Amino acid sequence: MGSVLTPVRRRRRRRRYRFRRLTPVLLGVVLAALAGAWLGTHRRSSAVASAARPLVVVHRDVPAAKAHPAVVRGAAPTPERLLTGGSRLAHSFSPRLLAASAILVDANTGRVLWQLRPHQRRHVASTTKIMTALLALRKLQPHDVVVVDKSVPRVPLVKEGLRAGERVQAWKLFYAMLLYSGNDDALALAIAAGGDKGSFVRQMNAEARTLGLRDTHFVSPSGVVDVDNYSTSWDLAALTRVAMRNPRFRRVVRTHIVHVKWSAPTFAKIYVNNNLLLGSYRGANGVKTGYTHKSGPCLVASAKRGGISLIAVVLDSPDMYRDARRLLDFGFAAMS
């Protein structure tokens, strides 16, 4: 019996011995598991706490010389301030001007020298063509060929008689529109530059907004339709400042008379500028006349003497040339 019991006791001691050897290992595993569980719980709670806390951004001081202006993507650019009216010249015309609205501007700086109801919205007739020319000159080169659309000959008077399908170089249409003031020329240029009349008129109004002309709205490229086609003497002076920056525009509006070759059966045309200040007033160099029954006589005039450049606008004046002369005379005398 003793020999049988002895091996059994030995096996039990081995098992106890092995268990004692494994105990530290098992304890380490248990501790590691507990530590991992605690760490995971701590990280989750830290993440929740971090999400709950407001984000704090620490800005480092940047030297002024290296600081860059913030760029706001998608923000509309601030329109250029084309006219400034803070330091007008005190003057009372006697007898008074006959215009319903008028303004005199230093073309170099945009300073308003004198004004009469400058923000009163009025019909402006063919002075609308200043905007038409500004946009069409950006799209059309002088020798681009314009194919006259079939709708062009149907435009109301005044028109020079363009024929549907006629092929005309753009520069001829610009002279016809700005000197003779052809409504068909304005529509032909608008369709060539904008694709169709409606698209071009939308571009005209978009440009007016871009330039900050808050009291201006167009319904046609010619101004022949009065309803909802309006502007102010202030806005027209601002628009003219922009248009006169284009050398092609300046070249056309200062021209008194131009002879143009034409296709058969016309062969030739002569355009005479409707602006009677050209050649009769010293320094006169533009820009556009206008008239409808509702607008009355309108004139946007410009003149330059030495380093002084002036823009005068008179709207609905029974004697627009006399009003413009008096404004320009006053401006040159005051700034000399």
d(CA 218, CA 35): 77
pLDDT of residue 80: 84
pLDDT of residue 33: 52
Strand ranges, E, within 155-213: 167-169
Catalytic residue set: 126, 129, 181
Average pLDDT on 13-18 reads 46
pLDDT of residue 59: 34
pLDDT at 321 > cutoff 80: yes
CB distance 227 to 219 below 8 Å? yes
Question: What HEC string does 93-161 produce?
Answer: CCCCCCCCEEEEEECCCCEEEEEECCCCCEECHHHHHHHHHHHHHHHCCCCCEEECCCCHHHCCCCCCC
pTM recorded for the entire structure: 0.77
Q: What is the pLDDT of residues 36-80, one digit of tens each?
A: 544 454 444 444 333 333 333 333 333 333 334 444 566 666 778
Can the peptide bond before residue 95 be classed as cis, meaning omega within 30 degrees of 0? Answer: yes
Confidence of residue 11 (pLDDT cuts 50, 70, 90): very low
Please indicate whether residue 297 or residue 58 has the higher confidence score (pLDDT): 297
Confidence of residue 15 (pLDDT cuts 50, 70, 90): very low
**Of 40-49, 195-204, 278-287, 303-312, which gets the smallest average pLDDT?**
40-49
Structure tokens at 308: 């002084």
Q: What is the DSSP string of 233-278?
A: HHHHHHHHHHHTTSHHHHHHHT-SEEEEE--TTT-EEEEE-S-TTT
pLDDT of residue 77: 66
